[in-house]
């Protein structure tokens, strides 16, 4: 999939070096097709790392995608330069009158706080409500999935006895759903979180369809409203070394973290991690874009009947 980004976005060069088809604004403007419009609300602290991971994940179908990075106005990021954020990110107020084919809400390192304690919670609630009328399908990741389930369906997260960190074995629960089309019966995926949405509460809610789970990590993938709301509890977009960076960061902070499970060969942090989840991660994003965005979105995003009220 050609990814359309701003000409001078820093991660553009990295993507091109990886042989990922990145299309600049000039070339995109001269193609006689309507690209899919996807918004990315990036709540992760290291914005550029997440940009790179998400853009990689969106790059695997032949559909042109126009990505808009969205930022909160009620929160100031401390880990990414202000100049980068103000240059490449749109405040929500600037895009609230627009409509999007797809929208992604990332995770955030605020799991151990109650949702209402998060300084941008009120603004996030406005955005999640806005997606119900302005977005064809919204993909929520990790804490973003927990926040979406809490807001839309009233199911709260609970704290785990210890941080869940590692790469876990999952099983597909419902093969008839296109979102898991092409998945193996068993697949691996990374998790990195302190909280979870209790599986028994999700199982009991008839509005939610469970698509994949894990004995160790619980629910991984579920959806509602025929795919207009999709929730991914882990981090399939993570790079090979992301969990390594998190582990060594926490070691440096004196937090004495546990070694991520099923990640380092022989559980030795000096060994290079084995990448075991990329193909299913790519499949997940490709299926989302194809079956829940491209196949479902109206050609005229601004037509009167484009979205449910």
Backbone phi, psi, residue 41, to 5°: -85, 100
Catalytic residue from among 51, 142, 246, 280: 142
Q: What is the DSSP string of 110-154?
A: -TTS-GGGSTTHHHHHHHHHHHHHHEEEEEEETHHHHHHHHHHH-
Give yes or no: 237 in active site.
yes
What whole-number distance in Å separates Cα of residue 260 and Cα of residue 190?
9
Give yes or no: 235 in active site.
yes
Catalytic residue from among 51, 111, 196, 237: 237
192 known member of a binding site: yes
Catalytic residue from among 191, 235, 246, 280: 235
* CA-closest candidate to residue 191, choices 235, 249, 247, 146: 235
137 known member of a binding site: no
What whole-number distance in Å separates Cα of residue 141 and Cα of residue 236?
9
81 known member of a binding site: no
Catalytic site positions:
142, 235, 237
What residue numbers does the annotated binding site for substrate cover? Answer: 163, 192, 249
């Amino acid at each position: 999939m050609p990814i359309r980004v701003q000409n001078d976005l820093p991660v553009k060069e990295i993507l091109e070096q990886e042989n990922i088809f990145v299309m600049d604004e000039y070339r995109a403007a001269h193609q006689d097709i309507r690209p899919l419009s996807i918004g990315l609300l990036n709540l992760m602290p290291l914005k550029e790392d997440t940009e790179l991971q998400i853009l990689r994940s969106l790059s695997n179908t032949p559909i042109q995608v126009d990505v808009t990075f969205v930022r909160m106005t009620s929160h100031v990021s401390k880990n990414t330069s202000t100049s980068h954020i103000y240059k490449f990110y749109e405040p929500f107020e600037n895009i609230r009158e627009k409509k999007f084919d797809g929208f992604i809400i990332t995770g955030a390192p605020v799991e151990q706080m109650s949702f209402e304690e998060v300084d941008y919670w009120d603004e996030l609630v406005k955005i999640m409500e806005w997606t119900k009328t302005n977005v064809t399908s919204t993909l929520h990741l990790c804490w973003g999935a927990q926040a979406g389930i809490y807001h839309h369906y009233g199911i709260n997260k609970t704290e785990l006895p210890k941080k869940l960190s590692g790469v876990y074995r999952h099983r597909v629960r419902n093969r008839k759903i296109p979102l898991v089309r092409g998945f193996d019966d068993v697949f691996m995926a990374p998790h990195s979180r302190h909280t979870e949405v209790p599986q028994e509460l999700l199982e009991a809610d008839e509005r939610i369809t469970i698509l994949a789970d894990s004995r160790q990590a619980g629910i991984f993938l579920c959806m509602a409203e025929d795919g207009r709301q999709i929730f991914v509890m882990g981090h399939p977009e993570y790079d090979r070394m992301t969990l390594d960076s998190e582990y060594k960061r926490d070691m440096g902070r004196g937090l004495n973290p546990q070694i991520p499970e099923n990640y380092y060969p022989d559980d030795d942090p000096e060994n290079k991690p084995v990448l075991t989840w990329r193909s299913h991660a790519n499949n997940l994003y490709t299926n989302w874009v194809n079956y829940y965005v491209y196949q479902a979105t109206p050609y005229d995003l601004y037509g009167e009947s484009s979205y449910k009220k």
